[in-house]
């Protein structure tokens, strides 16, 4: 960007003018954000984890972000090969899947071999992709199995948005234990007010660098970034590992916004609220979905509420047709995070988020209220009144219009995906130390405003906004 300044000096009856020209970069220009990528090849090899199988591409599965994020990053303009000029550092490693074990200690040894960069800012400018069910809580030190304090200041790009480990609050016999100890809000309040938060029940703690015990969060708000999973973003046909919901049905890989042949069934959304998937009412699985699926089924399922279809098991290939015929779809967690929010959204069904204490993907970055609904568990009984009001007021129809633009912000793979740009915009905001705030979406032009840069969301290849 150029700025020109004309300076004139008047002397007696004449004047002399000089034109000064200044050049500077816009703060939101992509070149203003530089990320150095650590190449860690031994942490991207299945043999490293003792897996004899031929583990290859999982980038379109539940745990595929380990692969798809570095792929998108390396194809962007944000990468630098000079660590001394980097704003952030990214560890290109498969940290969770397929091994589901902790190797963070060894990965940090390899990172430190690159130079002093990790310890320069205590890891606060380092980024790790974590797909574990309970986020950073699943990464423990080898000695003592404590939550890993070395990466306490680092940025975790993960799917789990809960501060507390959900399994610690379920599977308890309330005839033998006081229920207040299992109330997450009461527990967090007690830990906040206590001089020693580690004395509060079910609070996981770790030692800081000074040997002091401090509470450890699974998701650190506005430090970690909760992002969409990569599931169902199909790469050209290949065997898909860890894929669910009858993915061999072609409809699993399609959205009505890019495949007009799906538009017809989506125009008759006669089911008001839909959900299908395991409910797991058994006691041993009490933590599953934080009780949200179970409560909704007990109150409105099994034919109790007309227009509500809340199945207790997966529906197979019929699942995709049901999504296209429903106005609202229940989006809950599973064992930690869930993929149903994204699956609903990209099929034009307004997600109804119900997961107390767990932030949804991009909840800190995007105005989700423009195209989704969030209902606290204690208000679940009011779901019919809430959804009916959204429909009769016309807001539901507007939300579905907004979905035609916003779904791309929850998609990774090009040419449609813009989830990566949301992450980059958040990193730019932090670099500039700007106040926290949600990114503005202009649904009429289908674009987002990142700092002072307008970024189009619609790709030039496929645009079915009028669908």
Q: Dmax of the chain from CA atoms?
A: 98
Helix axes 292-300, 383-392, angle to 10 degrees: 80
Contact present, 327 and 390 (Cβ < 8 Å) = no
Would you state the structure tokens that stand for residue 42, as one six-digit string? 């031994």
Q: In angstroms, rounded to a whole number, what is the distance separating the alpha carbons of residues 367 and 372? A: 9
Residue range 206-232: mean pLDDT, rounded: 84
pLDDT at 285: 53
Least confident of 143-152, 187-196, 291-300: 143-152
pLDDT confidence bin for 28, thresholds 50/70/90: very low
Q: How many of the other CB atoms lie within 10 Å of CB of 185?
A: 10
Q: How far is CA 183 from the centre of its chain?
A: 25
pLDDT at 53: 46
Contact present, 103 and 109 (Cβ < 8 Å) = no
Q: Which residues of 86-124 are buried (b: 16+ CB within 10 A; e: fewer)?
A: bbbbbbbbbbbbbbeebbbeebbebbeeeeebbeeeebe
Encode pLDDT of 384-437 as tens digits.
999 999 999 999 999 999 999 999 999 999 899 999 999 999 999 999 999 999
Q: In angstroms, rounded to a whole number, what is the distance separating the alpha carbons of residues 402 and 444? A: 9
Q: Which residues of 23-38 are buried (b: 16+ CB within 10 A; e: fewer)?
A: eeeeebebebbbbbbb
pLDDT at 200: 75
The upper half-sphere exposure of residue 123, i.e. CA atoms within 13 Å in the direction of its Cβ, equals 21
Q: In angstroms, rounded to a whole number, what is the distance separating the alpha carbons of residues 168 and 430? A: 32
Shortest CA distance to 409 belongs to which of 451, 449, 377, 466?
Answer: 449
Encode pLDDT of 286-319 as tens digits.
567 778 888 899 999 888 999 999 988 777 778 8
Neighbouring-strand partners of residue 127 = 90, 155
Would you state the structure tokens that stand for residue 143, as one six-digit string? 């000695």
Shortest CA distance to 187 belongs to which of 160, 172, 270, 246?
Answer: 172
Choice between 250 and 239, residue whose per-residue pLDDT is larger:
250
DSSP one-letter code for 162: B
Per-residue pLDDT at 464 exceeds 60:
no
Would you state the structure tokens that stand for residue 140, as one six-digit string? 């423990």
Q: Return the residue matching tokens 């000029």.
A: 85
- Start-to-end Cα distance in the chain: 38
Q: In angstroms, rounded to a whole number, what is the distance separating the alpha carbons of residues 208 and 169? A: 25
Contact present, 352 and 396 (Cβ < 8 Å) = no
Q: In angstroms, rounded to a whole number, what is the distance separating the alpha carbons of residues 52 and 46? A: 7
pLDDT at 104: 83
Choice between 44 and 66, residue whose per-residue pLDDT is larger:
66
Encode pLDDT of 353-385 as tens digits.
999 889 999 999 999 999 999 999 999 999 999
Residue range 45-50: mean pLDDT, rounded: 52
DSSP one-letter code for 347: T
Per-residue pLDDT at 168 exceeds 90:
no
Contact present, 362 and 368 (Cβ < 8 Å) = yes
Per-residue pLDDT at 219 exceeds 80:
yes
pLDDT at 56: 65
pLDDT at 357: 86
Shortest CA distance to 291 belongs to which of 170, 188, 181?
Answer: 170
pLDDT at 71: 93
Note every long-range contact of 190-194, with CB atoms under 8 Å and residues 24 or more positions apart, other chains counting.
191/215
Residue range 311-328: mean pLDDT, rounded: 86
pLDDT at 245: 47
pLDDT at 144: 58
Residue range 132-137: mean pLDDT, rounded: 84
How does strand 326-331 pair with strand 350-353?
Answer: parallel
Ramachandran assignment for 83, one of left (phi > 0), alpha (psi -120 to 50 degrees), beta (any other):
alpha
Residue range 246-269: mean pLDDT, rounded: 76
Per-residue pLDDT at 229 exceeds 70:
yes
Least confident of 205-209, 250-254, 332-336, 351-355: 205-209
The upper half-sphere exposure of residue 462, i.e. CA atoms within 13 Å in the direction of its Cβ, equals 14
Shortest CA distance to 165 belongs to which of 335, 402, 29?
Answer: 335
Encode pLDDT of 93-129 as tens digits.
888 765 555 578 888 999 999 999 999 999 999 999 9
pLDDT at 375: 95
pLDDT confidence bin for 449, thresholds 50/70/90: very high
Per-residue pLDDT at 9 exceeds 80:
no
Choice between 450 and 204, residue whose per-residue pLDDT is larger:
450
Shortest CA distance to 450 belongs to which of 373, 330, 365?
Answer: 365
Contact present, 342 and 403 (Cβ < 8 Å) = no
Q: How many of the other CB atoms lie within 10 Å of CB of 235?
A: 17
Helix axes 419-431, 65-74, angle to 10 degrees: 70
Per-residue pLDDT at 29 exceeds 60:
no
Least confident of 152-156, 172-176, 282-286, 405-409: 282-286
Shortest CA distance to 406 belongs to which of 329, 332, 330, 351?
Answer: 351
Per-residue pLDDT at 156 exceeds 80:
yes
**Vertex 330: Cα angle to 419 and 376 (nearest 5):** 95
What domains lie within the chain, and their CATH numbers? 35-226 (no CATH), 260-404 (3.40.50.2000)
pLDDT at 443: 97
pLDDT at 351: 97
Residue range 138-152: mean pLDDT, rounded: 71
pLDDT at 14: 52
Q: To the nearest whole number, what is the mean pLDDT of the chain?
A: 82
pLDDT at 114: 96
- For the chain, give the percent of residues with pLDDT over 70: 78
Phi and psi at 354, nearest 5°, equal: -140, 95
Contacts of 415 (CB under 8 A, 6+ apart): 459, 460, 461, 462
């Amino acid at each position: 960007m150029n700025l020109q300044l004309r300076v004139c000096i008047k002397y007696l009856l004449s004047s002399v003018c000089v034109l000064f020209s200044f050049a500077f970069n816009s703060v939101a220009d992509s070149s203003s954000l530089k990320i150095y990528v650590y190449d860690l090849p031994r942490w991207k090899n299945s043999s490293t984890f003792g897996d004899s199988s031929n583990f290859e591409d999982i980038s379109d599965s539940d745990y595929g972000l380990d692969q798809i994020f570095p792929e998108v990053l390396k194809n962007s303009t944000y990468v630098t090969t000079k660590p001394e000029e980097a704003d952030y550092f990214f560890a290109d490693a498969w940290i969770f899947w397929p091994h589901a074990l902790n190797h963070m200690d060894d990965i940090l040894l390899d990172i430190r071999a690159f130079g002093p960069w990790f310890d320069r800012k205590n890891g606060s400018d380092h980024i790790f992709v974590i797909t574990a069910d309970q986020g950073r809580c699943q990464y423990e030190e080898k000695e003592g199995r404590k939550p890993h304090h070395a990466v306490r200041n680092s940025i975790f790009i993960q799917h789990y948005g809960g501060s507390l480990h959900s399994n610690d609050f379920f599977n308890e016999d309330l005839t033998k234990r006081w229920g207040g100890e299992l109330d997450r809000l009461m527990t967090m309040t007690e830990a906040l007010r206590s001089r020693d938060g580690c004395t509060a029940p079910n609070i996981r703690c770790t030692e800081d660098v000074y040997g002091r015990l401090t509470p450890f969060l699974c998701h650190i708000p506005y430090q970690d970034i909760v992002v969409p999973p990569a599931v169902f973003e199909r790469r050209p046909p290949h065997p898909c590992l860890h894929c669910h919901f009858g993915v061999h049905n072609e409809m699993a890989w399609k959205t009505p916004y890019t495949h007009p042949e799906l538009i017809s069934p989506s125009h008759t959304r006669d089911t008001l609220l839909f959900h299908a998937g395991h409910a797991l009412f058994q006691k041993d699985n009490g933590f599953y979905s934080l009780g949200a699926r179970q409560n909704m089924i007990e109150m409105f399922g099994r034919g109790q509420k007309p227009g509500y279809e809340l199945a207790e098991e997966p529906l197979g290939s019929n699942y995709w047709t049901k999504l296209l015929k429903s106005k609202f779809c229940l989006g809950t967690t599973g064992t930690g995070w869930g993929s149903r929010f994204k699956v609903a959204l990209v099929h034009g069904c307004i997600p109804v988020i119900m997961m107390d204490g767990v932030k949804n993907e991009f909840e800190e970055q995007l105005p989700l209220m423009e195209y989704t609904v969030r209902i606290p568990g204690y208000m679940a009984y009011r779901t019919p009144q809430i959804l009916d009001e959204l429909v009769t007021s016309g807001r539901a129809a507007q939300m579905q219009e907004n979905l035609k633009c916003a779904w791309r912000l929850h998609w990774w793979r090009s040419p449609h995906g813009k989830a990566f740009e949301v992450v980059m915009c958040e990193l730019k905001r932090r670099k500039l130390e700007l106040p926290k705030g949600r990114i503005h979406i202009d649904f009429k032009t289908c674009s987002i405003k990142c700092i002072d840069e307008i970024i189009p969301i619609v790709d030039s290849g496929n645009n079915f906004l009028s669908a």
